[in-house]
Homo-oligomer: A and B are copies of this chain.
């Protein structure tokens, strides 16, 4: 398979969310132009993105919403349920625990860890918080993805342990740069950096000059 741009994968997520929505509303068919408009990109981009993975449309007609949903779910690996563990039951961690949308998308949080003895054993959505020392044991049970929501100083240590336990995908909320070995995928959600991006835009009056509707976004 050819090399797929990172940005393409990001857009596939957007397309998928949109298409599910349209499907729920009974839309059965749409063109690349319509999908592009709703997802803030161009028709050519939509077609190119999809073309990396196969051919899903019908010339002259467009795409079947349901078929495309099915195809995208397959491409993105969203047909199976992913087993997720959460490390860090602080503010962000507990916010995530309550975020039912994740479960709906097939990401099920099966274990929660914290370092603070005061929190151990407390129950959250049917899970009881385990001590961080048990991380290795619990991960051995077949966790696919670990979400790291601990303070910046502790994050690299946690990631190292998690990777050593065989986990190959990590979502990091700590505002720090982490290192993982090849073969492990790490994504970082950094709201401080996003806010700083807004600050930059405000002082530099940056924006993609464009017409009325449909503006700067990142």
Question: Could you tell me the dominant secondary structure of chain A's interface residues?
Answer: mixed
Q: How far is the CA of A100 from the CA of B101 in the complex (A)?
A: 26
- Contact (A144, B202) CB under 8 Å given A17-B175, A95-B95, A191-B171: yes
Stretch touching chain B among A7-15, A114-122, A132-140: A7-15
Task: Identify which of B144, B194, B208, B214 contacts A187 (C-beta below 8 A).
Answer: B194
Do B215 and A183 touch across chains, with their CB atoms under 8 A apart?
A: yes
A203 to chain B, nearest CB (A): 3
A residues lining the B interface (CB < 8 Å): 1, 4, 6, 9-10, 12-14, 16-18, 38-40, 75-78, 82, 91-92, 94-96, 98-99, 101-102, 105-107, 144-145, 168-171, 175-204, 206-218
Say which residue of B10, B91, B198 sits within 8 Å of A99 (CB atoms): B91
Tally of this chain's copies: 2
CA distance A124 to B170 in the complex (A): 31
CB–CB A200/B144 < 8 A: no
How far, in whole Å, are A111 and B177 apart by their CA atoms in the complex?
Answer: 31
Interchain CB contact under 8 A, A198 and B187? yes
Q: How long is the Cα–Cα vector from A91 to B125 in the complex, in angstroms?
A: 14
Given contacts A186-B217, A215-B182, A216-B182, contact A200 B77 (CB under 8 A): yes
A101 to B10, CA, bound (A): 28
Whether the Cβ atoms of A199 and B82 lie closer than 8 Å is yes
What is the chain B residue whose CB lies nearest that of A203?
Answer: B77
Interchain CA distance A77-B199 in the complex, whole Å: 6
What chain B residues lie within 8 Å of A199 (beta carbons)? Answer: 76-78, 82, 106-107, 145, 169
